[in-house]
Structure 1
Amino acid sequence: MRIPRIFTRQALVSNSTLSLAEPQSHYLSKVLRMQAGRELILFNGEGGEYTAEISAVHKKHVDVSVKKFTPENRQSHLQLELAIGVSRGERMDWVLQKATELGVTKITPLMTERTEVKLGGERADKKMEHWQQIIISACEQSQRNLLPELAEPQEYSEWIKQCDAELKFVLHHRDSKKLPQEQTPKSVALLIGPEGGLDEDEIAQAITNGFSPLTLGPRVLRTETAPVAAISLVQYLWGDF
């Protein structure tokens, strides 16, 4: 029987008891219909994970006994940032989910010339909260214990000036350069546009700021496909694949 992995923002200490917050309690008791005695794995993003057991199920909360700590994080040694133009609908959700599963360290949503999603004020706060929950769910599923950092949405022109990764690539399907396999970087940044890609001025601006153009074969990939392909290649060459 599968043991659920649950993220909590609460402090975790071996050989202690705690009452889980309402969202986690509801998921365990109402969605999974788990009862006292069932095993769990808890993590809070501070590193490692804890085995636990449900001790009591109440109407509005679930009590758990926290047991053994395991320091495993399943974290790639490569610091990998994905900076991607914000896309519409579920495309961005899908990118965040798969990038988390594939081991990125940081995700930065970018507002580019062709970005059609408008973020600001309360809408931006709700979107960030939604994206953060997608990342948490992906960590629960993929057994990551350290959440990738989700940066606040930034203007494209500002981010490329600040990016200080050892190797920086901008995906450009009209170029022919591939990844330099002979190098062994400690940090990599991947820059990918929204639907329609980055425009020519943005690509030129990236190259001026030290980014190398990168192509992923002769076919044009969608904005939600390109990150999966690029991250997989980078993790294979320099990460933990």
Structure 2
Amino acid sequence: MARLNSFHHPAQGWPSAVGETVRFSGAEAHHMLAVLRTAPDQIVRLFDGLGRVGLFKVQKTDRNTALLEAVSLESHPAQDTGVTLAIGWGKSKRRDYLFEKLVELQGLGVAFWSAARSQGQMPDTPKESWRDKCVQAAKQCGNPLLPTITVLPAGLGGLLDFARGFDRCYVAWESDEADRPLTPADLSCGTSLIVIGPEGGLEHDEALALLEGGFVPVTLGQSILRWETAATYCLSLGWFARQGDK
């Protein structure tokens, strides 16, 4: 069977049973109809980003909307084990890459925080374009769950408050004081938060404050990694750690 085209449908209005119909509109519907020229009687895949996925038959279309009938529905539970990254904010054109890998490797989320060496003005709230990048990645790779995206206020204090919601907390620190490597076993059970500094790394005082807050210092190896490489490395370890549960 050929791979079905996949589209994001908001959780609001999701059908509760096979045979129910939904009226599909907005940017995703425009892509389905105007770009991919989806016709009546074709089958498409929809997902809501919260774990619900379905196959839908196109009943009717007009220029901007489509009436879709649910052919099959399934639900995927939220992950109780996974990695969330806390990344020091910086001016970067590589955030799109981060969102793509975050979805592909099924990370739970990312939080941006303002570190001492952060550059540029961090927005007060997540940008809609960030979520759009996650949606596009999920359509491509088939992940039914969209990651959370958070912007933390109050710098280091906000990060420490945020960390209270996790089972394990690690800080990737480029220092001789961090000689313990991060391993898949560290990420194999429960929710894990991993702090990655901005370009230039963490200030020593920041790292010490995180250690005092209960974070475990870890090394990502001998090379000094760009933040997006460090992020992908951590996500890959988390992905590998969960493969035994498949």
TM-score (norm. length: structure 2):
0.86
Q: Give the match for residue 101 of structure 1.
A: 104
CA–CA distance in 2 between the matches of 1:137 and 1:100? 9
For the 8 Å contact 2:60–2:68, the answer to whether it is kept is yes
Give the Å deviation of 1:209.
0.7
Matched, 1:7 2:17: no
CA distance in 1, matches of 2:227, 2:31: 32
Q: 1:56 to 1:209 in 2, by over 3 A?
A: same
Distance of 2:97 and 2:184 partners within structure 1: 28
Amino acid at match of 1:114: R
- The corresponding residue for 1:159 is 159
Whether the 8 Å CA contact 1:86–1:92 is kept in 2: the answer is no
| Counterpart residue type for residue 234 of structure 1 | G
**One-letter identity of the residue aligned with 1:160:** L
> Which is further off, 31-40 or 219-228?
31-40
Percent identity over the alignment is: 22
Aligned length: 235
CA–CA separation in structure 2 for the residues paired with 1:128 and 1:232: 25
Q: Which residue of 2 aligns with 1:90?
A: 93
SS of the counterpart of 1:59? coil
Cα 1:182/1:21, change in 2 over 3 Å: closer
| Superposition deviation, residue 189 in structure 1 | 0.8
Shift of 1:51: 0.5
Coordinate RMSD, CA, aligned: 2.2
Distance 2:158 2:198 in 1: 17
| Contact kept? 1:104, 1:148, Cα under 8 Å | yes
5+ residue gaps, structure 2, are none
CA contact 1:167–1:185 (8 Å) conserved in 2: no
Q: CA deviation at 1:41?
A: 0.9
Q: Deviations over 1:43-91 (max 9, x none)?
A: 1134331110222221122222222112345x65414221112232321
User: Deviation digits for residues 80-126 of structure 1, max 9, x if unmatched?
Assistant: 22111223232122112211211111221111112212134xxx45x
Q: What does the per-residue CA deviation read over 1:13-36, in whole Å, with 9 as the maximum and x for residues that have no partner? A: 221222212201111112222222
Aligned amino acid, residue 182 of structure 2: L
Q: Are positions 1:194 and 2:195 aligned together?
A: no
Q: Name the SS for the 1:104 alignment partner.
A: coil
Q: Verify the 8 A CA contact 1:15 1:66 in the aligned structure 2.
A: yes
Aligned match for 2:74, one of 45, 70, 75: 70
Asked whether the 8 Å contact 1:84–1:194 carries over to 2, the reply is yes
Change (3 A) 1:3 1:85: same
* TM-score, structure 1 as length reference: 0.87
Unaligned stretches of 5+ in structure 1?
A: none
| Equivalent residue, structure 2, for 1:172 | 173
2:118 maps to amino acid? T
8 Å CA contact retained: 1:77, 1:240? no
Q: Name the stretch that deviates more: 156-165 or 108-117.
A: 156-165
Flag the 1:182–1:193 CA change in 2: closer, same or farther, 3 A: closer
Structure 2 residue matching 1:151: 3-state secondary structure: strand
